[in-house]
Amino acid sequence: MAPSHDAETQGITRRKSLAAIAGAGALAIAGCTETEGGDGGSGDDGSSGDDGSSGDDGSSGDDGSSDGSLSGSINIAGSSTVFPLMSAVAEDFAADNPDVSIDISSTGSGGGFANFFCVGETDFNNASRPIKEEEEELCAENGVEYIELVAATDALTVVVNNEADWIDSLTTDELAMIWESDAVETWDEVRDEFPNEEIDRFGAADTSGTYDYFIEAILGESGHTSDYQATEQDNTIAQGVAGSEYAIGYFGFSYYFQNPDELKALGIDDGDGPVEPSLETAANGEYTPLSRPLFTYPSIESLGEEHIAEFARYFVEQTTNEDLVAGDVGYVPATDEIQEEQMQILEDGIEQAQG
């Protein structure tokens, strides 16, 4: 049985634990292997082999230990937004499969595709937007086939400092004025009643799917300003905004959900009045245009290894787990219908991989 999601682990709630993991930007879950002479699929440091690929760098050749249980390594990179969800699922899977080592890195969607997944070095790439044409081409050049799986729904969240009592919401046009390539410099240029103070911006790096989605949803052809502090780490954005009364930032809803007292989330007015980000408004479609689907992309070749195929099945099974997806992580779970569709896509991919 996977651990209960309302239990505390060593006095720290699951939500706080995930927040700490997200801040670190990496998670290595090592299998507790006690078999002498075997590595159980994990390296000395609990991660997999040198190049992050599976199969020939530390995973077991037959995907199972001597007693028939699963063993091997799984390597995952990509979106910082999907990272806490994948981490929660991986922790629970590893609890039931201690001979499987899972290494997850928060590299950004684009960084994961370009530097790891599409060059054959990881088994999954998490993404907070669909794969791009140039990434598809890079994967094809390197013979990397994949499937796309929907993981959850996110509400991209715009935040300001808790002391900023002069602002509660922005229209989408005002948000664009702050973040477009030819951005305004002071708050009173956005709205007359705002203070005549310079805007401090903190946001996603250009390797991030969150960055790409923000351009698509808010900025369009006007592009994204370069006058901001860019990072792949949500906690770095949060620290920057918390440090300045006149700062603004944006990231996935999960970080805000896990740390609601650190910052103020703004309502976004898309023409029908301000709507604040929440699980409810993302699920019912009211939080436009910043609610978005999240994805993970497993490699078909990797799905040929039984421990990876079983992990992928477990991941899809958990996408409807309200306690985990909503309660622990802070995203909107998939519907039963979407889960069924995704499981069929996955099973087709596994059949292709395993013959």
- The CB density around residue 63, as the number of other CB atoms within 10 Å, is 21
Highest mean pLDDT among 52-56, 59-63, 142-146: 142-146
Tens of pLDDT, residue by residue over 140-198, are 999 999 999 999 999 999 999 999 999 999 999 999 999 999 999 999 999 999 999 99
Question: What pLDDT score does 178 carry?
Answer: 98
Question: What pLDDT score does 19 carry?
Answer: 57
| Beta bridge partners of residue 336, listed in sequence order | none
Question: In 3D, which of 312, 301, 311 has the Cα closest to residue 353?
Answer: 301
Question: What pLDDT score does 243 carry?
Answer: 97
Q: How many degrees, rounded to 5, is the angle at CA 76 between CA 74 and CA 78?
A: 175
Structure tokens at 41: 């699929």
Question: What pLDDT score does 6 carry?
Answer: 40
Q: How many residues does the chain have?
A: 355
Query: Confidence class of residue 355 from pLDDT cuts 50, 70 and 90?
Result: confident
What distance in Å separates the CA atoms of residue 100 and residue 42, rounded to the nearest whole number? 7
Question: In 3D, which of 175, 133, 188 has the Cα closest to residue 275?
Answer: 175
- The CB density around residue 342, as the number of other CB atoms within 10 Å, is 23
Specify whether the CB–CB gap between 181 and 224 falls below 8 A: yes
Q: Which residues of 262-286 are buried (b: 16+ CB within 10 A; e: fewer)?
A: bbbbbbbbbeeeebbbbbebbbeeb
Q: How many degrees, rounded to 5, is the angle at CA 309 between CA 108 and CA 120?
A: 45
Specify whether the CB–CB gap between 39 and 58 falls below 8 A: yes
Q: What 3-state class would DSSP assign to 253?
A: helix
What distance in Å separates the CA atoms of residue 293 and residue 299, rounded to the nearest whole number? 20
Q: Which DSSP helix (H) or strand (E) runs through 175? A: helix 172-179
Query: In sequence order, what are the residues at sequence separation of 6 or more whose Cβ sits closer than 8 angstroms to the Cβ of residue 201?
Result: 178, 179, 183, 225, 227, 228, 229, 247, 248, 249
Predicted TM-score (pTM) above 0.85: no
Tens of pLDDT, residue by residue over 85-99, are 999 999 999 999 999
Q: Which is more confident, 131 or 46?
A: 131
157-289, CATH topology level: D-Maltodextrin-Binding Protein; domain 2 (3.40.190)
Query: Confidence class of residue 62 from pLDDT cuts 50, 70 and 90?
Result: very low
Q: Which is more confident, 68 or 338?
A: 338
Average pLDDT over residues 88-114: 96
Query: In sequence order, what are the residues at sequence separation of 6 or more whose Cβ sits closer than 8 angstroms to the Cβ of residue 23?
Result: 233, 234, 235
What are the sequence ranges of the domains in the chain? 8-153+293-354, 157-289
The answer, yes or no, to whether residue 64 has pLDDT greater than 60, is no
Q: Which is more confident, 161 or 27?
A: 161
Tens of pLDDT, residue by residue over 219-245, are 999 999 999 999 989 999 999 999 999
Q: SS3 breakdown of the chain: % helix, strand, coil, rounded to 5?
A: 35, 20, 40
Percent residues over pLDDT 70 in the chain: 81
Pairing of strands 267-269, 274-275: antiparallel
Average pLDDT over residues 105-111: 95
Query: Confidence class of residue 5 from pLDDT cuts 50, 70 and 90?
Result: very low
Tens of pLDDT, residue by residue over 267-295, are 999 999 999 999 999 999 999 999 999 99
Question: What pLDDT score does 121 carry?
Answer: 97
The answer, yes or no, to whether residue 17 has pLDDT greater than 60, is no
Specify whether the CB–CB gap between 305 and 58 falls below 8 A: no
Q: Does domain 8-153+293-354 have CATH number 3.40.190.10?
A: yes
Question: What pLDDT score does 54 carry?
Answer: 41
Same fold, 8-153+293-354 and 157-289: yes
